[in-house]
Structure 1
Amino acid sequence: MEIFGSTFDDSVFLEARHRVCESLSSYNAKVCEPEWFCNSTALDTNDALEKQKVYKFRGDLAVRQGNYQKALEAYSSCLEWIADNNLTIRRDVLEGMSRCCTKLGQRDRALELADLLSKEASNTCHLTSLLLLKVSIYDHFGATASKMSSLEQLCSLLPFNPWHWLNLGQMCLQQLENNKITGSCSSERSKSAGEQNDGEAEDKTDWLKACICFIRTRLLLRILQQQQSSFVLQRSENALHSTDEALQRLSPKEATLQALTEVMSEDLIPEKMREDYQDGESLTSVCVQSFRERWWNKVLMIGVLHTDGYQRNEELKS
């Protein structure tokens, strides 16, 4: 009986064939001076690719310098010279233009450019970049509801990324604290029973979302810590510490905490975490359930909002 690996193919021991080494033509590398693309002569060419590079580099440099109007003009010029089949550079330039418009306070134009990117998204990487772009736009202009919706979509698209869950949880917690400040400032004026009920229902929703987000973050970070080291591990430990502090401030009852943990850990199976929702996967093969369908409805089914686990907004520890 042969032992596995004890035999070799005879071809391994054959002499390599004599190869004819053909002389290669000499190659002269192009040497560019720093910021060569800023020279007035850089555009003295009929090569569309060269013009695209010049405008792209000028835009990137202007962004780095904080001159967003100049960067927007450079990116706009670059867009005219990008080949139809060069989708990567086109997406990069459109995103740069959208971010410049955001910095310049041009909300409608920034969202319009984001919509162009959404029409060309073909894989999960594209969609992830688009959602992160929208989060930054909505955050800049204070569109809380839209920002929260984009973060929920990120959590649904990449359910095993703890940082999106952490961001969503922090936003819900901030919303609760803002409601507390707003409520104390408006305590002098009388409120109708309907307004009070609506405000309390909104607080309950934000409280519960914050709880499930921080619980999910903690679960994911603990799993990832087993494979991390160095500064990556340190970052996770810091985030885990912040998550524990946030849960202490939310103060869910032990029974509530256990019930939510069970719901939020149902899909945390190692095999599934490795295979599902891989970056770059075609959108045609990705079936993304909404945040409500995948987690929220399950949480509501266990009746958490009807238990004593909810702490009223004014009881949150500052």
Structure 2
Amino acid sequence: MEILGSTFDDSVFSEARERVCRSLSFYNAKFCEPEWFCECTALDTDDTLEKQKVFKFRGDLAFRQGNYQRALDAYSSCLQLIADNNLTIRRDVLEGMARCCTRLGRTEQALELAELLSKEASNTCHLTSLLLLKVSIYQNHGSVGPQMSCLQQLCSLLPFNPWHWFSLGQTCLQLLDRNPKKEHTSEAVNGDSEEDQEGAAELSEDRVWLRACICFIRTRLLLRILRQQQSSFVLQRSEKALQITAEELQRLNPKEATLQTLTEVMSEDLIPEKMREDYQDGESLTSACLQSFSERWWNRAVLTGVLDTDGPQLKP
């Protein structure tokens, strides 16, 4: 009687077939001198792909050197040579052009390029890059409201990323530090939707104060969890951020009961099993675009009644 799993297939004992070794074609590696693409002869070719590389590398180098107009010109030339199906390079070049326009003070043109990128965003990585780009554009322009709106979307898209919460908390502090009479002026940028303006409009000082507390408490919770798996310079960065977070919370000066209440609310979803799940999918992409950040985070904290017993008591 055969025992389950004790039999073998006859092919296991058959002789292996002789392997036919095919000679590989000889390959010569191409050696390039440093910054070879800067030479005038680099464009002396009929190969469109080679020209595309030259302009792309020139743009990257000029941007790194701080020559943003030259970088923009190189990126623009590269864009004309990119095939329609090469979406990866196209997105990279468009983002480079937008960042050049931002540094050159051309906010409207930068936002138009960002809009082109938004039409091609098809996954979480695309949307994350787009939102980070828009944050830098609005930050450079001084538009706190739209900047806050983008950071809220980033926190909704990646709720376990402490750095987006940290940036959102810093943006809330900017609102608190501004003159209330001038708080809502010079915020509009052509192309911004009403939703983008919501970040700074119709917010009382106590609401902004509460949001700042929420963001820094959430940041502290996430960093304390993540630093257990970190080392070297990554751990040093987290430790420094924790120190800054503690200083900002001390400046915001919430009562101990408020800290405890908000900590409980902000830690409800911090379950190790849930934090290990893969959120890089289409469902999370839709959620970040449609879900109301206020309902999920801001309003939950307000419902705890914190503002009834505590309020802005900023220390200098």
TM-score (norm 1): 0.85
Residue 126 of structure 1 aligns with an amino acid whose one-letter code is H
Question: Which position in structure 2 is the counterpart of 1:196?
Answer: none
Structure 1 residues 284 and 218 mapped into 2: Cα distance closer, same or farther (>3 Å)? closer
Question: Which position in structure 2 is the counterpart of 1:291?
Answer: 293
Deviation at 1:276, TM superposition (A): 4.5
Question: Which position in structure 1 is the counterpart of 2:187?
Answer: none
Question: Which position in structure 1 is the counterpart of 2:186?
Answer: none
Residue 68 of structure 1 aligns with an amino acid whose one-letter code is Y
Spell out, residue by residue over 1:190-237, the C-alpha distance to the aligned partner (whole angstroms, 9 max, x if none): xxxxxxxxx996211110010000010011011111111122112111
Equivalent residues in 2 for 1:53-202 (5 A)? 53-179=53-179, 202=204
Alpha-carbon distance in structure 2 between the residues aligned to 1:176 and 1:163: 20
Percent of residue pairs identical: 73
Question: Which position in structure 2 is the counterpart of 1:234?
Answer: 236
Alpha-carbon distance in structure 1 between the residues aligned to 2:302 and 2:8: 62
Alpha-carbon distance in structure 2 between the residues aligned to 1:57 and 1:235: 31
Instruction: Name the SS of the counterpart of 2:276 in structure 1.
Output: helix
- How large is the Cα RMSD of the aligned pairs? 2.6
Alpha-carbon distance in structure 2 between the residues aligned to 1:227 and 1:10: 49
Contact preservation (8 Å) 1:79, 1:93: yes
Alpha-carbon distance in structure 1 between the residues aligned to 2:118 and 2:297: 25
TM-score (norm 2): 0.86
Deviation at 1:30, TM superposition (A): 1.3
**Structure 2 residue 212 is matched with structure 1 residue 210:** yes
Alpha-carbon distance in structure 1 between the residues aligned to 2:260 and 2:13: 63
Residue 220 of structure 1 aligns with an amino acid whose one-letter code is L
Structure 1 residues 200 and 158 mapped into 2: Cα distance closer, same or farther (>3 Å)? closer
Alpha-carbon distance in structure 2 between the residues aligned to 1:46 and 1:105: 36
Q: Could you tell me which of 284, 302, 305 is aligned with 1:303? A: 305
Deviation at 1:7, TM superposition (A): 11
Contact preservation (8 Å) 2:157, 2:285: no
Q: What are structure 2's unaligned runs of at least 5 residues?
A: 1-5, 184-200
Contact preservation (8 Å) 1:94, 1:117: yes
Contact preservation (8 Å) 2:223, 2:242: yes
Spell out, residue by residue over 1:41-99, the C-alpha distance to the aligned partner (whole angstroms, 9 max, x if none): 22222221111111101111111111111110110010010011100000000000000
Q: What are structure 1's unaligned runs of at least 5 residues?
A: 1-5, 184-198
Deviation at 1:282, TM superposition (A): 3.1
Instruction: Name the SS of the counterpart of 1:91 in structure 2.
Output: helix
Number of matched pairs: 293
Deviates more, 1:93-102 or 1:259-268: 259-268
Instruction: Name the SS of the counterpart of 1:80 in structure 2.
Output: helix
Deviation at 1:291, TM superposition (A): 1.6
Instruction: Name the SS of the counterpart of 1:137 in structure 2.
Output: helix
Equivalent residues in 2 for 1:240-259 (5 A)? 240-259=242-261
Structure 1 residues 38 and 304 mapped into 2: Cα distance closer, same or farther (>3 Å)? same
Spell out, residue by residue over 1:132-152, the C-alpha distance to the aligned partner (whole angstroms, 9 max, x if none): 001111111101111111111
Question: Which position in structure 2 is the counterpart of 1:45?
Answer: 45
Alpha-carbon distance in structure 2 between the residues aligned to 1:27 and 1:83: 27
Spell out, residue by residue over 1:109-151, the C-alpha distance to the aligned partner (whole angstroms, 9 max, x if none): 0000000000000001000000100111111110111111111
Alpha-carbon distance in structure 2 between the residues aligned to 1:285 and 1:177: 33
Structure 1 residues 217 and 9 mapped into 2: Cα distance closer, same or farther (>3 Å)? farther
Spell out, residue by residue over 1:4-23, the C-alpha distance to the aligned partner (whole angstroms, 9 max, x if none): xx999997787654312111
